[in-house]
Structures are given as structure tokens and as C-alpha cells.
Amino acid sequence: MTERITAREGYEHKFLTEFLYPKYWGVWLGVLMLIMLAYVPYRLRDKLAVFVGKVVTKYLRKKGKKQYHRADVNLRYCFPEWTAQQRAEVIEKMFITVSQTMLAIGETALRSTEYLQKRCEFNGFEYIRETRENGKNVILLVPHTWAIDASGIIMHTYGMPMVSMYNPHRNALVDWLWNITRERFGGKMHTRQNGIKPFLTDVRKGNLGYFLPDEDFGEELSVYVDFFATEKATLPGLNKMAKVANAVVIPMFPIYDAEKGVYQMEILPALAFSGDPVQSAREMNKVIEYFVSKNPEQYVWILRLLKTRRNGEDIYQR
């Protein structure tokens, strides 16, 4: 029932009376835990997250779970020169980062604007401000990192509401809770099954577009371009999207720096497109390569990033 609700065409997250039924009580218990953690000093919470991340990594590796397997496969294809030990270290650091950002969800949902702004640092924010002052809209090109949601929500507090597209969670209560958090300071989340038009319409109205470029949408919608040491089926239409929305495309990479205890957003100058779809796709992947090579543990390696291959091979098959 829940999966059917969130997968239907036209679905929009909203509160349902069934969220009070016993089958959802486990979710509400988790919410209570996150509320309590929201007011725990982040240094203590991050120490707990390190422990949780290491335990999760050990469990997933020992049990051969798909999340660990996918991450290892992606790293083998993208960095073939790495040893197994290097891959294992990055994967463990990644799951520690996962834990740090997930245990901080309550903080993002509940703490004050002033508090959240103290928890972030920007490098290159002037590129966004100058573009908007020049009368152009902005599509932020944001690779999948574990800090994308917290960083996007915090950017709202600077008077820049955003619009984005997402794949709904199969649990309708989780989906509703997470999206009212994302929309706490403005903006709108559109489901992918409802198409790209609502997203582009909101960008044309002046909302920052928060576009995640690295999912694999299959061969029919993609072109093959280089991606680290391999190639990837990549969406080619970003330059067309920008034209429709009267926007420029500005890359941004959000990370969680546990040493400083802040979310850091590195923002680059706008991309230049030639009009060639292959060039557009390659520019997106070059952005990912630049950012991820510096902070590989921040990237969401558990995705099926390389799902579509020229020869039809399923590289994630056991």
C-alpha cells in the first residue's frame, strides 16, 4: 500500500491519517531519537556517528550486502589503480559520513536559522549572487553527496528558496517527514515521475534549481561519455534545460567536514556549453571528477552509477 502511494503518477507528499497506525510507530520512534540528537552537541553526536559508521561498514562487508558491494564495484571501475585496502578505507569513511549526516537530520529540521548558518561555510557564493543580480536564473549542478539535503536547506535561509526533483521513499511517512524538512524554509520538491516541466517552471520563476546529475537513466535517454577511468551513461540535455529556464548552470559540491563541524559548499563559476549534447554530458562528469577526487568519502558510491553498459553487462551482479 505504502509503496503504491509514493510511486503513483501525480503523487505529492502530504500527511495521511494512516501515519498514526501501529505499522508506522517504528518510524515515529526513530523520529523521537533524531529530535533528541538535534540538541546534543555535534562533537558528541559525531563521535557516536563514527562508532555507528564503523559498525555498519563491518556488518555490510561481512554479510556481503548490496550497499557495500555496489560501492566497491563503483570504486574498482572508477579507480582501477586503487588497492582493495584503499577502497575499503574510503568505503568505511563514507559510511561514517553517512552516519554523521543522518544523525543530524533532526538538527536540520528543528534548529534555528542562526544556528544552522553557523554550521556552514561557503566558497564561491558570489557566483550565485552575481548571476541573479544580472537577471539570470540558476541551476545548481550538485553531485550526489551525503550533505546535499542539509546544505540545500541551509541555503534557503539566505533568501534563496530552491526547487529540486527526487525519487520518493517507498515509506510514505518517511517521504512526508523528509520533504517537509526540505521545504522548511521555502522551495519545492517535485517527484521524478511527474516529469521535468514543474521543476523548470519553478526555476523560471526565480527559484534556484537543485539538479543532481549522476543517476543512470538508461541508454535511451543518455549518451556514453568518460567518467573517471571508465565511461557512464549520462543525461545530455542540461544545456537545453538551462535555455528553457533562462538559467546558467553553476556547479556546487556540499560536504560535511567533521573536523571543523561544518557543512562546506564549494561553488564554481558557471559552465559553458557548446550546444553539443555529448559536450554537455561530459562537462557534468568533469565537474563530478573534480569534486569527488578531492573528497571521495563524501560521494554516494552505493548508487548503481554504472548500471547501463554498452555491452549490456550487469557489473553489479554477484
What is the arithmetic mean of pLDDT over 111-122? 95
Tens-place pLDDT, residues 6-50: 888 778 889 999 999 999 999 999 999 999 999 999 999 999 999
Is 303 inside any structural domain?
no
Least Cα distance to 146 among 88, 67, 73, 225 occurs for 67
Is 317 inside any structural domain?
no
Please return the burial class of 162, using the count of CB atoms within 10 Å of its CB with bins 0-12, 13-18 and 19+: buried
**What is the percent of the chain where pLDDT is above 90?**
86
Is 307 inside any structural domain?
no
Is 316 inside any structural domain?
no
pLDDT for 224 equals: 96
Q: Which domain holds residue 173?
A: 2-298
Domain count, the chain: 1
Given a cut of 60, is residue 307 above it in pLDDT?
yes
Is 304 inside any structural domain?
no
What is the arithmetic mean of pLDDT over 112-141? 95
Instruction: Determine contact, residues 162/139, Cβ cutoff 8 Å.
Output: no
Sheet with 162-166, side-by-side order of all strands: 120-123, 262-267, 247-257, 137-141, 208-211, 162-166, 188-191
Instruction: Determine contact, residues 289/228, Cβ cutoff 8 Å.
Output: yes
CA distance 257 to 122: 12
Given a cut of 90, is residue 131 above it in pLDDT?
yes
Is 91 inside any structural domain?
yes
Is 306 inside any structural domain?
no
Q: How far is CA 143 from CA 140, 173, 254, 291, 304, in A?
A: 10, 26, 8, 9, 14
C-alpha cell at 247: 538559467
Is 314 inside any structural domain?
no
